[in-house]
């Protein structure tokens, strides 16, 4: 069985999607449609913007979503997922790929999500940090022992977990986790504490938008970040998508469950190959590849 996976924020690079735009009329039309929906020419920033341009949350999230969903669309009949999953933002891409959301509705939700998250970041100074070389349980116990906001945010692979919270909470956690033997404990260059309670204002804003959007029955199950389990029910998918902003991304658990349910190969759809690398850390025997369209 083949699983298609979709990357999240951090996979962006200058020039992303330009090859698709130039080689496919269908891709070009979708990109131009996106420019109209967003109200600015995101293609200019994707194809020729600076690194700083692409780091803006309002640009980063729709840019990665567009690269992934347009690539999946123009793959046509060769795009045959038995299951899908996406890392954080990538979950929205996966829901367009498996027909739960239309392209337009997915883009609108991603744009609203990006703006809501940006507002939440500006409201409370916060950050994230990558912790390498410790068992998840140790990281969880340390986070719960700190009298400040700090929680596990991304379970990326065995021995690689990202924590999220207030600047004070992250600083304390880094000191303790380093003392407990973490190989590395590094603050990330992000705008705020994604997948933590500090995203509650964004969650409330996104919940309203999601509840006002039509979700269709998917053509294949999506393994969602919140539960790491397959979902086919549009109402369950909605609820999990709302919870995602303040809950951890259970990527390691999702990959293990997909393998347990029969996935023998994973195809990464979108910029970069970060997820393929994480999957190899979960299971070295699994086949991974990156999707491409005549390039």
Active site residues: 88, 195
- Partner residues linked to 223 by β-bridges: 230
Are the beta carbons of 253 and 155 closer than 8 angstroms? yes
3-state SS assignment for residue 55: helix
* Cα dihedral value 136, 10, 3, 283, nearest 10: -40
Measured between alpha carbons, how far is 132 from 251 in angstroms, rounded to an integer? 15
Residue 37 dihedral angles phi and psi, to the nearest 5°: -65, -40
How many CA atoms lie less than 13 Å away from 266 in the CB half-sphere?
29
Q: What is the CA radius of gyration of the chain?
A: 18
Q: Estimate the crossing angle of helix 57-74 against helix 25-38, to 10 degrees.
A: 150
Pairing, β 160-166 against β 287-290:
unpaired
Order of all β-strands in the sheet with 230-231: 230-231, 222-223, 83-86, 2-6, 265-268, 287-290
Give the rounded distance of the alpha carbon of 128 from its chain centre. Answer: 15
- Torsional sign, CA 46, 89, 218, 265: positive
Are the beta carbons of 169 and 107 closer than 8 angstroms? no
């Amino acid at each position: 069985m083949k699983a298609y996976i979709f990357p999240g924020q951090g996979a962006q690079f200058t020039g992303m999607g330009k090859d698709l735009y130039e080689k496919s009329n269908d891709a070009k039309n979708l990109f131009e449609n996106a420019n109209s929906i967003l109200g600015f020419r995101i293609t200019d920033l994707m194809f020729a913007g600076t690194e700083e341009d692409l780091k803006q949350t309002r640009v980063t999230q729709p840019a990665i979503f567009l690269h992934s969903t347009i690539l999946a669309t123009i793959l046509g009949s060769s795009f045959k997922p038995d299951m899908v999953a996406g890392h954080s933002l990538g979950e929205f891409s996966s829901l367009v790929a498996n027909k739960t959301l239309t392209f337009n509705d997915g883009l609108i939700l991603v744009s609203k999500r990006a703006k809501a998250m940006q507002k939440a970041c500006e409201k409370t100074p916060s950050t994230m940090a990558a912790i390498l070389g410790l068992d998840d349980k140790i990281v969880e116990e340390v986070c719960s022992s700190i009298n400040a906001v700090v929680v596990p945010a991304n379970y990326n692979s065995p021995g690689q977990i990202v924590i999220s919270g207030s600047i004070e909470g992250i600083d304390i956690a880094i000191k303790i986790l380093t003392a407990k033997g973490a190989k590395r404990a590094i603050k990330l260059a992000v705008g705020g504490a994604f997948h933590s309670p500090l995203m509650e204002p964004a969650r409330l804003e996104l919940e309203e938008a999601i509840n006002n959007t039509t979700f269709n029955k998917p053509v294949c199950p999506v393994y969602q970040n919140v539960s790491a389990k397959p979902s086919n029910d549009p109402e369950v998918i909605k609820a999990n998508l709302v919870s995602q902003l303040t809950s951890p991304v259970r990527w390691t658990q999702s990959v293990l469950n997909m393998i347990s349910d029969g996935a023998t190969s994973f195809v990464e759809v979108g910029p970069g190959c970060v997820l393929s690398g994480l999957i190899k850390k979960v299971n070295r025997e699994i086949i991974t590849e990156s999707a491409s369209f005549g390039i």
